[in-house]
A and B are shown apart, each in its own frame.
Chain A
Amino acid sequence: MAIVSTIRAIGNRIVNAVWRIGVAARFFFLTLLYSGNSFRRFHLIIKELFSSGVMSLIIIIVAGLFVGMVLGLQGYETLKRYGSESALGVMVALGLVRELGPVMAALLFASRAGSAMTAEIGLMKATEQISAMEMMAVNPIARIVAPRFWAGVISMPLLAAMFSAVGIFGGYLVGVVQIGVDEGSFWSQMQAAVDFREDIMNGIIKSLVFGVVVTVIALFEGFDAPPTAEGVSGATTRTVVTSSLAILMLDFVLTAIMFRGA
Chain B
Amino acid sequence: MERTTLDLWVGMFVVAGAAALVMLAMKVGNLGTYNVSETYQVHAYFSNIGGLKPKASIRSAGVLVGRVTSISLNTERYEADVVMNLDKRYQFPKDTFANILTSGLLGEQYIGLVPGGETEMLKNGELVKQTQSAMVLEDLIGKFMYSKAAEPAK
Contact = CB atoms under 8 A, between A and B. Distances in A.
The answer to whether A and B assemble together is: yes
B25 A200 contact: yes
A46 B29 contact: no
B57 A192 contact: yes
Interface stretch (B12-20, B39-47, B72-80, B121-129): B12-20
Give the dominant DSSP class at A's interface: helix
A165 B14 contact: no
Contact of B28 (A49, A159, A194): A194
Interface stretch (B30-38, B83-91, B93-101): B30-38
B141 interface: no
Contact of A97 (B16, B24, B30, B54): B24
A196 B10 contact: no
Nearest to A199: B29
A168 interface: yes
B145 interface: no
B29 A54 contact: no
B146 interface: no
Interface residues of B, number: 27
A236 B90 CA distance: 61
A49 B11 CA distance: 10
| Highest count of chain A CB atoms <10 Å: which of B16, B17, B23 | B17
Contact of B14 (A93, A97, A158, A194): A158
A157 B17 contact: yes
13 contacts: A49-B10, A49-B14, A50-B13, A53-B10, A54-B13, A97-B24, A155-B17, A158-B14, A158-B20, A159-B17, A161-B20, A165-B28, A168-B24
Interface of A: 46-47, 49-50, 53-54, 57, 93, 97, 155, 157-159, 161-162, 164-166, 168, 187, 190-192, 194-196, 199-200, 204, 262
Q: Which 9 A-B pairs rank lowest in CB-CB distance, beginning with the nearest?
A: A158-B17, A165-B20, A196-B29, A161-B20, A162-B20, A196-B31, A161-B21, A54-B13, A49-B10
